[in-house]
Amino acid sequence: MRETIKEILHDYWGYDSFRPLQEDIIMSVMQGRDTLGLLPTGGGKSITFQVPAMALDGLTLVVTPLIALMKDQVDNLRAIGIKAIYTHSGLSRAEHQLALDKCRYGKVKLLYVSPERLQSKTFIDNLRLLNVSLIVVDEAHCISQWGYDFRPAYLRINSVRALFPNAPILALTASATPEVVDDIMLRLNFNGRNLYSRSFSRDNLSYIVRYGEHKESILLKVLEGTNGSAIVYVRSRRRTKEIAEMLIREGISADFYHAGLAPEDKNEKQNLWKNNQFRVMVATNAFGMGIDKPDVRVVVHHDLPSSLEEYYQEAGRAGRDGLPSFAVLLASKHDKSTLSRRISENFPEKDFIKRVYELAGNFLDVAIGCGYNEVYEFNFNLFCKRFNLPPIPTHSALTLLSQAGYIDFTEEISTRSRVMILLNKQELYSLRLEPQVDTVFQLLLRTYTGLFADYVYINEALLASRLKASEEIIYQSLLTLSRMHVLHYVPRKTTPYILYTTSRELPKYVTLSKSVYEEQRARLERRIEAMKSFTYSTIKCRVNLMLEYFGEKPTKTCGKCDVCRSQLKKPTTQSQIDKIKQSILYIISQPGEHTINELFANISASKDDILDTLRQLADESLITIAEGVVRHVGE
């Protein structure tokens, strides 16, 4: 069996050996044991189910909430010759049916599904007809109410596994506290405790916190002081563009990324960054999941995450190649209150949540008692604007309503345009089309392959460029062909969805249980306090703080974080300080203006010691410092 999985690894991925714990997890699954794999970001979780999927007879069912990752993995698997397919709420009914038909006829080895699909009776009825040999739960912390990203739809996985009692379950996550680990096994009804976990410690990664009110200038210093690819995380879409433009003005190649971009723009930016066409990607947390770029040297958090789980996952995208890398957190004194404010933003008043539920039903024109198991496109921005609702608490209200089981709010599924030809090749010979439509159709056939067998992603802008026509002509021609049932054309769109998991209720019957509201609010408070402790502690090793949070017992300090480095530094003697003072006063006594950077370059001492001495001289009213220029008092 071991030889078989090693051959699969080599034949499809070209690797001669597994990473730590990968083989152990795969062997556990192959022996039919329910298994929980706790592997850090970049630890190679996907290999642990993709290899056994190829070794086992039948179909591997992969449940994941990350639609972008789902699409990336399927594309990557197809590129190496593995038959994989996905289904989620953003697809048309015809695409759903085609995916299930392929599974039924044995043409697929891996079926990726979003958790809300498990709430569809039609999907479950189709699923029970398939030969499922392995069930995979990716981002398994989502099944636990103790986890930081609880998804109620995950609770249905246990009922799905009842359909396939002989199929083992493989649960995977990168970050989970001990109580979440236990809860995952309980919720998935494991046939015995079976955990494989690597330490959360990453020996090549240095965790650094930099304090200051002017974060942009600190960011510049960090990027100027490091080499290689970088990611800068912010919490605002608007800020991604602003900071990217600031970096470009300062001579650092950069671009921005967030969930609201068109799918083509996302793919282009991601590919350019992965191919080192620019250095820094400034992004919201929509970027990075599943990004297989090993040489990221630094990840900077411009804004503080709400939990150590989030921070660990995002920071862990640095240094996947094992080489020295940095995770830098920028913190100001105001960030403490900003973190605390997120508690009320994430848990608005219950009356407000009920109002959002009522207004959403009105907005979607869903009558009381109707809507069960129906999916509705939901323009979140228009909804907030129409009813004058604050976006952040409104978003939180929809999330809590999802967790309470009234709806399933799926954010911004970005789908690219795609086409499948419905007629067979013989029928095309007798087809008579208008000249313009025929020209577009012939161009489509010349540009793309596989159109008769499956939905193929297309790019209207590319077709328009080759035809020297407008995108509108391409769009209208494809719509005409779709109306004639020559092909099925699904135009691109980016929109959230609401799936009603119960019929619409009157607001007075909408209740939020203690487990959904009060207990989860208390857990968020604890996570935020842990994040504050990690950020603002200047005494304890940052890695040890994180390891203790995740249930490990560290035996030594990391020696690389900013706290450890400051403690390792030899104390500066008074005579050394006096020499630095003399050097500063001598340099600024010379003609002309003298900057702090000039002092750094000309004084043989650390920057921290020079800055401390400058503060002393300023406190003694011997110098003034303005806009980086140092002067004698009285100049």
> Which residue from 101, 93, 436, 225 is spatially nearest to 85, judged by alpha carbons?
101
SS (H, E, C) 381-428: HHHHHHHCCCHHHHHHHHHHHHHCCCEEEEEEEEECCEEEECCCHHHH
> Which residue from 497, 503, 496, 508 is spatially nearest to 405, judged by alpha carbons?
503
For the record, the structure tokens of 207 come out as 């965790």
Conformation bin of residue 315: beta by default, left when phi > 0, alpha when psi is -120 to 50: alpha
For the record, the structure tokens of 78 come out as 């197809």
Alpha-carbon torsion 248, 258, 91, 365, what sign? negative
> Which residue from 92, 528, 601 is spatially nearest to 305, judged by alpha carbons?
528
Q: Taking CA 392 as the corner, what is the angle to CA 318 and CA 299, rounded to the nearest 5 degrees? A: 10
Quick one: DSSP state of residue 153? G
What's the pLDDT score for residue 70?
A: 84
Helix (H, G, I), strand (E, B) or coil at 103: helix
What's the pLDDT score for residue 106?
A: 87
**pTM, 2 dp:** 0.76
Backbone φ, ψ for residue 86 (5° rounding): -135, 160
CA distances, 178 to each of 66, 144, 184, 538, 552 (Å):
24, 12, 10, 26, 9
Report residues of the chain scoring pLDDT below 70: 42-43, 289-291, 412-414, 569-571, 634-635
Q: Taking CA 455 as the corner, what is the angle to CA 451 and CA 457, rounded to the nearest 5 degrees? A: 90
The partner residues of 254 in beta bridges, in order of sequence, read: 280
Are 457 and 473 a contacting pair, CB within 8 Å? no
For the record, the structure tokens of 589 come out as 């006594």
What's the pLDDT score for residue 395?
A: 94
- The model's pLDDT over 71-106, given as tens digits with 9 standing for 90+, comes to 878 888 998 999 999 988 777 788 888 888 899 888
What's the pLDDT score for residue 77?
A: 92
What's the pLDDT score for residue 619?
A: 78
Q: How far apart are CA 477 and CA 469, in angstroms?
A: 12
Helix (H, G, I), strand (E, B) or coil at 476: helix
Backbone φ, ψ for residue 113 (5° rounding): -135, 145
- The model's pLDDT over 424-474, given as tens digits with 9 standing for 90+, comes to 888 888 888 999 999 999 999 999 988 988 888 898 988 999 999 999 999
3-state helix vs strand vs coil in the chain, percent to 5: 45, 15, 35
Q: How far apart are CA 436 and CA 50, in angstroms?
A: 45
Task: Count the Cβ atoms, other than its own, within 10 Å of residue 355.
Answer: 18
CA distances, 413 to each of 70, 409, 459, 495, 496 (Å):
12, 11, 18, 6, 6
For the record, the structure tokens of 111 come out as 């079926």
Q: Taking CA 555 as the corner, what is the angle to CA 314 and CA 147, rounded to the nearest 5 degrees? A: 35
Helix axes 391-403, 380-387, angle to 10 degrees: 120
Task: Count the Cβ atoms, other than its own, within 10 Å of residue 578.
Answer: 11
For the record, the structure tokens of 296 come out as 């990221």
Q: How far apart are CA 48 and CA 66, in angstroms?
A: 18
Distance of CA 28 to the CA centre of its chain: 28
The partner residues of 500 in beta bridges, in order of sequence, read: 407
For the record, the structure tokens of 140 come out as 């398994």
The helix (run of H) or strand (run of E) holding residue 559 is: none
AA identity, residue 495: T
**360-369 as b/e, with b when 16 or more CB fall inside 10 Å?**
bbebbebeee
What's the pLDDT score for residue 569?
A: 67
Q: How far apart are CA 312 and CA 306, in angstroms?
A: 11
Q: How far apart are CA 346 and CA 64, in angstroms?
A: 23
The partner residues of 59 in beta bridges, in order of sequence, read: 132
Are 114 and 142 a contacting pair, CB within 8 Å? no
Are 139 and 65 a contacting pair, CB within 8 Å? yes
For the record, the structure tokens of 52 come out as 């056994």
- DSSP string for residues in 508-549: GG----TTTTHHHHHHHHHHHHHHHHHHH-SSS-HHHHHHHH
